[in-house]
Copies of this chain bind each other. A is one copy, B any other.
Amino acid sequence: MKPYQHPTVDQITLTGLLHALSDPVRLNFVQCLATRMCEQPCGAIPTPVAKSTMSHHLRVLREAGVVRIRTEGTQSLTSLRLTEIEAKFPGVLGAVLKAADAEKPLEEHS
C-alpha cells in the first residue's frame, strides 16, 4: 500500500486537534487506542459505522496528527501520538481522554 503522510508536531494545530476529537466515533476510537496502549489494526476496534466511513475517520485523525498509521501486510496498524501531542499541548489530550472515560467508560471485555 501507499505510505501515509503524517504531519510533524509543528504542523499540529490546537483547533485541528480539537476538531478531530469532537466526533463521537473518532473520540471513541482514540479512547480505545489509549486504553490498549499499543498499535491496533482498524478491525480490532468495534465501530458502529461502515468500513469506508472508518477509513475516512482514520484519515482525519492521521492528518490532524492524532494517530500514526503504518502498514504491515494487509492491515494498517494505528497508534496514538500521545507523547508528541502532550509535548506540544501539555495536558490537553490526557484530560480529554480522562473525561471521555468518565463520561462513557469502555467495555473492556471484547
Contacts and interface: CB of A to CB of B under 8 A. Distances in A.
Interface residues of A, number: 23
Interface of A: 13-15, 18-19, 21-24, 27, 88-92, 94-96, 98-100, 102-103
B100 A91 contact: no
B96 A92 contact: yes
Number of copies of chain A assembled together:
2
Contacts of A19: 18-19, 22
B15 A22 contact: yes
15 contacts: A13-B103, A15-B23, A18-B22, A18-B27, A19-B22, A22-B22, A89-B95, A89-B103, A91-B94, A91-B95, A91-B98, A91-B99, A92-B92, A92-B99, A94-B95
